[in-house]
Structure formats: structure tokens, C-alpha cells
Chains A and B, each alone.
Chain A
Amino acid sequence: MPAKASRAAFGEALVELGARDDRIVTLDADLSKSTMTARFARTYPGRGFNLGIAESNMIGVGAGLALAGKIPFVCSFACFVVGRFETIRISVAYTGANVKIVGTHAGIAIGEDGYSQMGLEDIACLRALPNVPIIQPADELETRQAVAYAVEHQGPLYLRLTRQSLEPVCPADSRFRLGRWLTLRPGNDVALIASGGTVFNALEAATRLQSEGVSAEVINAASIKPLDEDTLVRAATRTRRVVTVEDHSIFGGLGGAVAETLAEVAPTPLKRLGVTGFGESGDPKGLYAKHGLDPAGIAASVKKFLNR
């Protein structure tokens, strides 16, 4: 499979699933070309709704549609849709409405548009809601499976997607399951836990580390909430060093979730890699280098963490 943005894989998967399940509808807030639901709306006239630049209303309408038996996908940039947190909190989560929230343009990887368009705190916000699973697929295959899962899942759910293309990382026979992580590469000295767009970089970093005598395990944590406690604790117990790698704020994301679980269940030295301040404009490559999320940066942080 060639590299593909998870938002693009999402848009295609939705068209396929829409043929089989007419409960599926899409809602957008003037970003349907960017969230890639435009094709669904064209394919199924009367099932794609563009509510204008009005995200709170979109979420509320989605909740109402869900209560009337539809399966609405409410879509925008992650920052804008999760930015309407309190509407999600009450109209979707507390109501128990079967709304699929889709946030695209996750992270600093969007580049030049800068901080105001970057989803950097969406995981932190939604982690606090008891009944909203958070899924961040790492490639096209996993995205298709995650979208299919979202349709099956009863209740609210959040899908975090990328603007940028993602190289395939999951084996062809792998299956996405909520609460399950995928060990993509075994290792003994340290466990790298990554999610979404950073998984490929973590794998590249592991290859570099190998040549320098460090054996790094790489785990794809697509299910950020609930996380896979078994896989996490087993990896932490064996490698005794854990590093999380995410394109999200260092506060409250995957790293935060891992820290909470390890501290309670299996205290293990942990290094969290992610975005420490606000994001900013720049070319995506340069931004990843600056924030230490490129393969070289990840490898360097791991070596420092291991005192090598």
C-alpha cells in the first residue's frame, strides 16, 4: 500500500461503509474538503450535511441525529471540533449519544498554518470524559479498520486523523481492536510507544538505535483510550524503560495516560516525547526536527534517557 493520509483513508472507508449502512451520515463545518467527507456527501445525496462555520451547532445536531437513530460522523479539524468541548461533554458524552467525533489535522505535522489550526490538546480534553474512546490509527489499513469499528461501537467515540500521508506500518493480517495495542517490533532495552503519525518515526528511530546497539521495542498504540494495560505492563516490566512518542501536547496525551497507568500498576522510568509548548508555523520536517519527533530526535532522546 502506498502512503496515505489517515483523513483520506477515512473518507474512502466511509463511502464504502455508507453503502452497507444507511444510518451513516456526515456533518461538517465548512471543512468537508479537508476532512475528506466531501466524497461521501457527493456519493450519497441527502446524507452529508455542511452546517457552515459553526462547530458547536454541528456537534449538537449530530447528537440529535444520533438520538433519532442515525450514526453521525461530526468532522472538523481536531482543534475546532474538540475546541467545543463543553458541547461534546453534555450533548454527546453525558447524553450518551452515538456520535462519532472526527478530528483531522492532528498535531504540528500540519506545518505552515501554525498553532491555531493544530490539534494539540484534543486527546487531553477527551481523555477526561468517561465514555469517549480515543482512537488514532497509524496507517491506511488501520484507519479503515478503525472507521469500521467506529460504526459498530455503540456510543460516542473520537477518531484522531492526520493531514499528512502515513507510510504503512501495520502487518496486512493485523486487526484493530479497542483497548489492544500492536507490537510492531520486538526489543529488550526500551519500549517506544507511539501513535498515529509518530509510529513510523519510532520504527525508523528503532532501526537507528539497533545500529548503535540499543534494542528498542516499538508499540503502536492506536487505542489511546482505553489503553492496553496488559501490553503496556508486560513491555515495561521486560524492558524497564518506556518512551512515549506523540504529536500532541506533552500534557495529558498518550504519555500522560501511560504515566498514570505505570505509576499505579508498574512503576517504570518513563520519558514522554511530544510538544512542550504551543505549536508554530514551519515546514513539517523542520518542525518535527525542532520538537525532536523525527527519527534522529527520537533516537537521541532515547539514548540520553538510557544514558548511552
Chain B
Amino acid sequence: MADGQLDAIARACRVQIIRMLTHAGSGHPGGSLSVIDLLVTIVFGRLRHDPRRPDWADRDRIVLSKGHAVPALYTVMARAGYFPESQLVTLRQLGSPLQGHPDRVALPGIEAATGSLGQGLSISLGMALGLKLARSPARVYCILGDGEIQEGQVWEAAMAGPKLGQPDHPLDNLTVIVDYNRIQLDDFVAKILDLEPLLAKWQAFGWPVQEIDGHDVAQIGKALDQAEAARGTPALIVAHTVKGKGVSFMENNPEWHGKSPKPAEAIAAIGEILGVSEAAWPDYLRTDATTRALVDELGALDPK
């Protein structure tokens, strides 16, 4: 798929992230908006999967270890056809398979229950090893938060990754991506517990490391290619991202880690994501019926 198309999908997904979080009245916009370009590039650029057969043995797998960003994954899954897009607004509601954090049992297509940070990389190693042992061509993509990698278990897995399965079954079917948005829950990562020198740490553990702009789909695609080309080892991509990317008042602001926008904020956010200036917004809404309907839908929600 062309880069322009991926960008367009990512934009549409950002709008849906804002929409579903506003309906839910809670959730994590910052980390969802920072990871969406990565997810879109993986899923629509290369993932070998079949939404009608989520249990297909040779499917590629995505483990979203930073599970609180699952709204981003839901928007991508809906678009890929795992469930109807209309279901997105049931996020976090009683009985919805769209749980606040990923639930593998409730929603086919989710590969692991995450939400307790630090566990996804270990699961990904196990999946990658299992696929190798089964001689499956499938790949595993694991996405970590930067704050998340403060967890000790991540470093146990990091130490094991390049060693596990050697020499007959090296985990070169595993691509790990760090969403390096520099913010965690309480504050900026550098203020809580700095990760630097991050690349050197992973390299010292034996990982080939690439560093990219995690919002540039061309760079993401190239890095994913290169990771896939690596033989005999899993590969790491450090993706520099902006928490809250695409919404000016959310960008780089720790406040927006874990709170949902109010309807008025959501509408302003959607205007920004679509790249429409305030002056042009009324005209835009007159010509774009879909956005008009969405704005009406959000406007009808409880303003608090």
C-alpha cells in the first residue's frame, strides 16, 4: 500500500480513537495516538492475517504489550474487518468485547491479555519460538511503551531474546518496537527514571537496533523490512514518537496520558486531525456529511 494511503488510514483511525474514548468517558488517548502510525503500517502494509480466521495457525501476530493503548488496535482491527466499525463506541461498556485493556478470550484477533505492563515481550518470545518449532512462516510484532520498559521482566526477556532458540531456532521472526514518546503516567520518562542510553542498552544485550521517526510511514516500512531481513536474531526498532500526536493540546502533555476528551474537546481534536482550520471548519462540515454526523453524534453526548 502506498504511503499516502497509510497516512489516510492513520488519520481516519485517529478520528475513531477520539470518538471511542469520548463515548467511553475514560481511557488513554496519548499512547493510542503515538502508536497508531506504527500499527497502521504493520497491519495494512504487511501483516499476513485473515480477519475471518483469527485462529489461522500461520497468521502474523501483534502483541500490544502497552495494552492501555488498545483503542488504537481496535480501530485498526475494525477497519481490517475483525468486527464492525459501529462496535467501536461500545469500548469499555459492560458486556463489550472491547475491554478497557486487551482481552484475548473476549475478542478474537487479540493475541494476548496485556494491560499489566512488562509482560508482552516474554509472551512474544514464546510465540516466536513456538512458531519456529512449528516451522511456521509467521512473524510476531511486539510493541512496548517506553515507560513500560522500566519493568524488570522486559529486561529478562531482552536478555533472552537473542539467545532463545539458538542455534536451530533463532527468533528472527520477531520484531520488537519501542514507542518512545518520552512520557509515562506520572510525568516525563526522563524525570521518573531515564532510559538513556536506550539503544546502547539493547545493543549490549545483543539486539540489532534501528532508530526511526515513528510517525513517518515510509521510515516505519523500511525499518520493518530491515528487521525482517535480519537473520539469526530478533530485531528492535526504537520509534521516536509524540504522545498525543495529531492533537495539539494533547501532544507532549502528560495530562493526556489517561483521560478522555470531553465532547467539545473531541470535536476540536477531530478538526485538527483532519487538518481543517477553525475558519474553514463550518464549510468543511457542510460538505463532508460523515464528519458532520460524527460531530453531531459527539455533540449529543453528556458535555461533562
Contacts and interface: CB of A to CB of B under 8 A. Distances in A.
Interface of A: 28, 30-34, 38, 50-54, 56-57, 79-80, 83, 111-117, 280-283, 286-287, 290
A281 B67 CA distance: 14
B152 A116 contact: no
B116 interface: yes
Interface string B137-151: 000000000011011
Contact of B147 (A52, A56, A116, A280): A52
A52 B25 CA distance: 27
Nearest to A282: B94
B115 A116 contact: yes
B79 to A, nearest CB: 22
Nearest to B106: A280
A283 B94 contact: yes
A115 B25 CA distance: 18
Interface size class of B (residues with CB under 8 A): 20 to 34
Contact of A33 (B25, B113, B185): B185
Interface string B80-110: 0000000000001111100111010010000
Contact of B152 (A56, A80, A281, A282): A56
Given A30-B147, A56-B152, A287-B94, A114 B118 contact: no
B26 interface: yes
Interface of B is mostly: loop
A51 B193 contact: yes
B200 interface: no
B152 A28 contact: no
Interface of B: 24-27, 67, 92-96, 99-101, 103, 106, 113-118, 147-148, 150-152, 184-187, 192-193
A45 to B, nearest CB: 14
A117 B101 contact: yes
B63 to A, nearest CB: 14
Contacts of A115: 99, 101, 103, 115
A50 B101 contact: no
Nearest to A113: B100
Contacts of B184: 30, 52-53
B113 A54 contact: no
15 contacts: A30-B186, A31-B186, A33-B186, A38-B186, A52-B147, A52-B192, A52-B193, A53-B184, A54-B150, A80-B116, A113-B92, A114-B92, A114-B100, A115-B103, A116-B114
A50 B193 CA distance: 8
B99 A53 contact: no
